[in-house]
Structure 1
Amino acid sequence: MGVKLRSMTDICLLNLALADLLLVFSLPFLAHYARNQWIFGGTTMCTIILSVYHIGFYSGIFFVVLMSADRYLDVVHSVSAWKDSTKANGIIASVVIWIIAIAASFPELMYLTTNEHNDKTYCQSFPTDDHNSHHYVAIFRMNVLGVILLLCVIGFCYLMILHRFLTVPSSRKQSMRLVIVVMVAFFCCWTPYNIAAFVKALELNKLIKTSYDNSLLITEALAYSHSCLNPILYVFVGEKCRGTISDS
């Protein structure tokens, strides 16, 4: 039985679920690797797992951005840029997002390989001769694309949606609470990790000496838990948003 996609949000949710599944698929491998060494094969498996991780991470971010923008247009302005040809435009937008996600994953995808050091096998995303510099750039890019961009788009879109709810006489408090939950869930899950990653970048540049590896692992696990919340949150918020405005 096929899935009937009736709106841009439906198409984005399908792709967001796929992106989250890619990310979740890679986590058991990376979790074991973080506490031991790479035992899952040679360069081929290293390339597959880390490619899946990077692409899943960035595609999830960009589909959330697209969904937030579409919901903003639909709820606040009562228009949708995709009404005339939802399926066609949705497919085009999805393909573009996946291409952008793959592009954002470079140059890490170029350097994926395994190497031996002190009788241990490592799967690395950066060239050995300039590891710290490339790692720092990757963390900076993740902070810009993964937090600053997403937080700005989500913040603007959902603040405008909240304002719309407040101006609609029949708006329900439950709808506003759900919108707030979306913003708070993202902020609480991803901000600690990006702060820890930023501190790690300072350490790599020898601006601080204290190691924060444990805090990075803990906050990383919290950040990835957001992938499990994404489909639930956006399904409920989408229905409530449509229900609230249609009742006005």
Structure 2
Amino acid sequence: MSDYGENTSLTPAYDYSSYNDLIGDFAPCESNDVRAFGKVFLPALYCLVFILGFIGNGLVVCVLVRQRNQTNLTDICLFNLALSDLLFITTLPFYAHFSRVSAWPFGDFMCRFAAASHNTGFFSSIFFMVVMTLDRYMVIMHSFKVARYRTLKAGIALTVLVWMLSLSVSLPAFIFTKVTNNSSGPSCHPDSENNAWRLYNLFAANILGLLIPLMVMIACYSCILVKLVNMRSAKKHRIVKLILSIVVAFFLFWAPYNICLFLNFLKAEGKLKGNECTLEANLGLALTVTEAFAFSHCCLNPIIYAFVGQRFRKQVLQLLRTWVPGIHCTYTEGWSDNSYRKSSVMFRSSDVTPTFIK
């Protein structure tokens, strides 16, 4: 969670300092209203996000596992995107409790592990979205050249590479996050006294997590949209609509928080001028609200799938009918698993649509 004291960390969604932990030298700047708002608003929102995100992403995982014989590269990325969101939300109950009681009772290892898991879920999400964007670009712009490379083995290797990269980027969070004692009890937050760590957080949050992916996606989708103007493939239009919706939603939810983190960094460096207490209170409220808004993003992808993919709705209803007696599937017309059977060994250039979007 964000902390609006002088030693605020700059990693997106990874600073879990207590909302009641005010540095002694800045005690005159009271932020009671922001702290009281955070203690009530954040735990309730985190619990709601955890429940909705677990159910939604769990259904996505179940659907894709059930259709594993029809898997293509996009499905592999969507599956791992759901896993990333699940990894992200598993830490929310811990931070809901931390927000409420302003103390970390789970020990130093869980403090480090939760921070690293949080980071890994965030970065793996953005990296898999970049992979999906690049794959879409290659399939649409250079379909004949990439057909032989889109194999199951290549998809698995790419998945391992992305997870290793995400873990590597997140490793500093495990190393530098620790439990410290303050007036309200043990607190879990990164070592914001370390200037190298602060700069790395800023780089990871805004460069690796926002600017570079955004530039790649804008460049790819600009070319894709020009190409699609002259294409009549409904499948290719649908998959681009799906991925573009995922990407736009991600940046709409996370960009405000990253901007607030950058402004907070400028404040800590003395680059923002104005009344110190007013600036601190305004940034504290902005960080609290934008952080909560960003965290709720992990519930959104399953909703996008449900709106974009008719077949995803069918498969979810079929799963619910299997698990819960009495639920009737209304999407039964002309659809069966065998009618969409495809090879799991080679992802042909024409086979570019996720199994639940057809």
| Distance apart, 1:99 and its partner CA | 0.9
Q: TM-score, normalised by structure 1?
A: 0.82
Aligned to 1:201: 265
Contact kept in structure 1, 2:102 and 2:185, CA below 8 Å: yes
Partner of 2:206: 143
Pick the aligned partner of 1:117 from 163, 170, 182. Answer: 182
- Give yes or no for the alignment of 1:219 onto 2:279: no
Residue 67 (structure 1) aligned with residue 140 (structure 2): no
Question: Alpha-carbon deviation of 1:108?
Answer: 2.1
Unaligned runs of 5+ in 1: 244-248
**Does residue 236 of structure 2 align to residue 152 of structure 1?**
no
Name the CA distance, whole Å, in 2 between partners of 1:25 and 1:88. 29
Q: CA deviation at 1:148?
A: 0.4
Q: Does structure 2 retain, via aligned residues, the 8 Å contact 1:65–1:150?
A: yes
SS at match of 2:91: helix
Q: 1:113 to 1:179 in 2, by over 3 A?
A: closer
Summarize the Cα distance change of 1:15–1:158 in structure 2 as closer, same or farther, 3 Å threshold. same
One-letter code aligned to 1:193: Y
Residues in 2 aligned to 1:232 and 1:153: alpha-carbon distance in whole angstroms:
25
Residues of 1 paired with 2:145 and 2:287: CA distance?
40
Task: Provide the C-alpha distance between the structure 1 equivalents of 2:101 and 2:285, rounded to a whole number of angstroms.
Answer: 14
> How far, CA to CA, are the matches of 1:105 and 1:83 in structure 2?
33
More helix by share: 1
Ranges in structure 2 where 5+ consecutive residues have no aligned partner: 1-64, 312-350, 354-358
* Residue deviations 1:17-47 (CA, integer Å, cap 9, x gap): 1111111111232244245423341112212
| Distance change >3 Å, CA 92–CA 18, structure 1 → 2 | same
8 Å Cα contact 1:193/1:219 also seen in 2: yes
- Does 2:113 correspond to 1:48? yes
Quick one: structure 1 residues 231 and 72, their matched pair in 2 at CA, closer, same or farther if it must change by over 3 Å?
Answer: farther
Quote the Cα distance in structure 2 between the aligned partners of 1:207 and 1:36. Answer: 33
In structure 1, distance between residues paired with 2:93 and 2:270: 31
Within a 5 Å distance, the mapping from 1:170-185 to structure 2 comes to 175=238, 181-185=245-249
Structure 1 residue 185: Cα displacement: 2.0
> CA separation in 1, counterparts of 2:128 and 2:290?
22
Q: Given the alignment of the two structures, is residue 92 of structure 1 paired with residue 140 of structure 2, yes or no?
A: no
Judging changes above 3 Å, is the alpha-carbon distance between structure 1 residues 178 and 111 closer, same or farther for their aligned structure 2 residues?
Answer: closer
Matched, 1:15 2:80: yes
User: Retained in 2: the 8 A contact 1:42–1:114?
Assistant: yes
User: Quick one: structure 1 residues 90 and 40, their matched pair in 2 at CA, closer, same or farther if it must change by over 3 Å?
Assistant: farther
The alpha carbon displacement at 1:126 in A equals: 1.9
Contact 2:260 2:287 in 1 (8 A): yes
Larger relative contact order (CA 8 Å, sep ≥ 6): 2
